[in-house]
Every structure is written in structure tokens, then in C-alpha cells.
Amino acid sequence: MTSLPEPAVLVLEDGTRNTGRAYGALGTTLGEVVFATGMSGYQETLTDPSYAGQIVLQTAPHIGNTGMNDEDPESRRIWVAGYIVRDPSRVVSNWRANASLDEILVQDGIVGISGIDTRAITRHIRSAGSMRGGVFSGEAAGLDAEEQLRLVREAPEMAGQNLSAQVSVDVATVTQAVGEKIGNLAVLDLGVKQATIDNLAARGFEVHVLPQSSSFADIMAIDPVAAFYSNGPGDPSASDGQVAVLREVLDAKLPYFGICFGNQLFGRALGLGTYKLTFGHRGINQPVLDKSTGKVEITAHNHGFAVDAPLDGPFDSPHGYGAVEVSHIGLNDNVVEGLRALDLPAFSVQYHPEAAAGPHDANYLFDRFRDMVIASKKDAQ
């Protein structure tokens, strides 16, 4: 007879407690508790570096049925601080799988919890906002409730954290262009995903992935035709160094494309503010309006911060980069989902156009970037 998994408890900083069963590694983990609404693609979610420092709750009730494979990871490891699911699959039923989700969670030391009411927790977070939490399993599950709550409340808040150094490469890597080469592309790795690199290479860029600490001189040393800032975790207001480098990129009129965290840093480089969303956007079913075409796209999101900018019509960049406009708007809550500079070859979006585990409605943005770079090269001749 198979024994039940060991007990585990989820504790939120407001004192909310949920008792369930251990899932993955045993121990204690602390982080910001957030929810992701994707019905599939849990492997891509777990290996997305943007989730560093966060305990991710899957709103889909049944997780793990397709197992884990060696082809779908978005980076070199699992990055979530912890994992919350309702009903983990007891079997793996996909021909591509070579391990179960539980096995990989144990292998990577990810502490999780299962068997709790994830719908109730999601509704609580939607009302109260994302907050710090902790998962305690094994011996830690037996700690005094007040001690568990103290540990949660002493954990750092997401606001004010710079996490880029935790997820970035230490040395530059290069991916060769597919087909006719346009030129070298400098990608500042703030938590880049493999699907992003693949999409850029497929558009003819030789992709140079650079450490997050790279200077403007480091970027220019590869003789780039453009610069790209990736997605990543943390608070954009704590990334002044990368913002300063981006301003040098804009001053040099080097074409620029940023996604997710790269959108927030583009906003700050232009002189705009950023703020923390109540519970963020995380999932593969977020509707966004592209103002230039009038089309509504279903897009993949993973962000807890957003840019503060006027939604209607062009406005002047506070830092002197000419006219700027909000190019994309989230239709659920009117959050800024994209920016476009009208006097510079630069734009950004707040979501993930590569959407490896989701819709490809926004994949055209990589083509838009390629076309912008080609046009910029012609203008420079």
C-alpha cells in the first residue's frame, strides 16, 4: 500500500494558513505568492527565469500529467521559489516525457504543496494582492504556527529587489543566425528564455546573450545592429544600472526592442514611472489591443510591475527622447502593454511574443523588429 506524502502547510503573511501534502522537495521555501492561469505549459512556467523569488500557484487543477522532457525547458533550470498545485497527476502519460514533474521538483530542490483549495487562494490574492508566503514540509511542517508566520514576514518583499544577477549568464554566449544574416544582436540577459533567442536567430540575427552587468561599451564591442532587453524578475525601479545603459543605447540611436522587464526599463529610460500591480498578469490567455492595427491578441504574460504612461495619444518623453505613445493596452484592466518611440527606432511590449507554451498571436513582433533594424541600416548608408 502506497503511503501518503508528508504533510505540508502554506502560510501567507496576513496569517492565512492552508494545510496539504508535500509535493517535490521537503523543507522550507519563502517568496512572493502569485498565481498563473495557464491551462498547460507548466514546464515552461517553471523554467521561466521571470518567476525567480516567487512561489507559483497553478490555477489549473490537474498538473503533471504530461511529465517533463528535455526539449521544452525555457532555461537551464527551474527558477520558481516554490510550487502550489491542487491535484498532481499520479501518472505520466506523454510519449515525450522522460521524468515525472515530482521527480524534477525533487531533483532541483523545489519545495511545493498539493491537495489544497487553489481556487480559494487565488480569489484571496485577487482581493488582497500578491503577498509573501512560505511552504513548510517535512520537519518544518511541525514548526509552531507563530514561528512559521514570523519567517514569512521576515522574508524580503518583491518591491525593491534586483534579481537580474541571479538569473543572468556569467559569460556571453552566441547563437548563430538562421538563413541570411542581418547582423549581431546584443541581448542583455535579465532572465531571457530560450524561445526568445530562437525567434531572434530565426529572423537572421546572430544573437549575443550578454551578462546583465554589461556596459554600453560591452554592447558596442560586438558591433551590434540593434539591442534587445529580455524579460526577467524583480522591481524595475531597482535596476538603475541597466536603465543608464539603455539611455546610452537610445542616445546612440541604436534600434531597440524590449519585452516584459525590458518594457519596464524602456519606460524608465524614457523618463516614465513604474508601479506594482495588485496581483499581476501571469498566464497565456491575456487579451491585448494593438493600437496600430486595432486587433485584439491573446498573449502570454508574466509581470507584477507595469509602466505608468498616458494611454491616449502621443506624449513627450520626460527625458528628451521625443514623442512616445502607448502601443498596446491590456483589455482586462487598461494596463500599459507596449511603448513605441516615434522619433527613435525603439519599441517594447509588456508580454511574451514568443509564447512557447501559448498562443502565437504576437509572434509578428519579431518580424516588426527585424524590419525596423533593416530600415535603420538602410537609413544609415
Catalytic residue ranges: 260, 352, 354
Task: List the Cα angle 320/321/327 in 5-degree steps.
Answer: 130
Q: Find all residues with CB under 8 Å of 44, minimum gap 6, and list them.
A: 72, 73, 74, 193, 195, 356, 357
Half-sphere exposure of 6 (CA within 13 A, CB side): 15
Q: Find all residues with CB under 8 Å of 200, minimum gap 6, and list them.
A: 175, 185, 187, 207, 228, 366
* Contact (Cβ atoms closer than 8 angstroms) between residue 181 and residue 206: yes
Instruction: Centre a 10 Å sphere on the Cβ of residue 247 and count the other Cβ atoms it contains.
Output: 19
DSSP 2: P
Q: How far is CA 312 from the centre of its chain?
A: 27
Strands 336-341, 346-349: pairing is antiparallel
Q: Report d(CA 325, CA 62) in Å as an integer.
A: 41
* Contact (Cβ atoms closer than 8 angstroms) between residue 175 and residue 207: yes
| DSSP letters for 103-132 | HHHHHTT-EEEESS-HHHHHHHHHHH--EE
Instruction: Centre a 10 Å sphere on the Cβ of residue 179 and count the other Cβ atoms it contains.
Output: 9
Closest to 224 (Cα-Cα) out of 211, 241, 207: 207
Helix/strand number for the chain, H first, E second:
10, 20
Instruction: Centre a 10 Å sphere on the Cβ of residue 139 and count the other Cβ atoms it contains.
Output: 11
Characterise 355 by phi-psi region: left (phi > 0), alpha (psi -120 to 50), beta (else): left
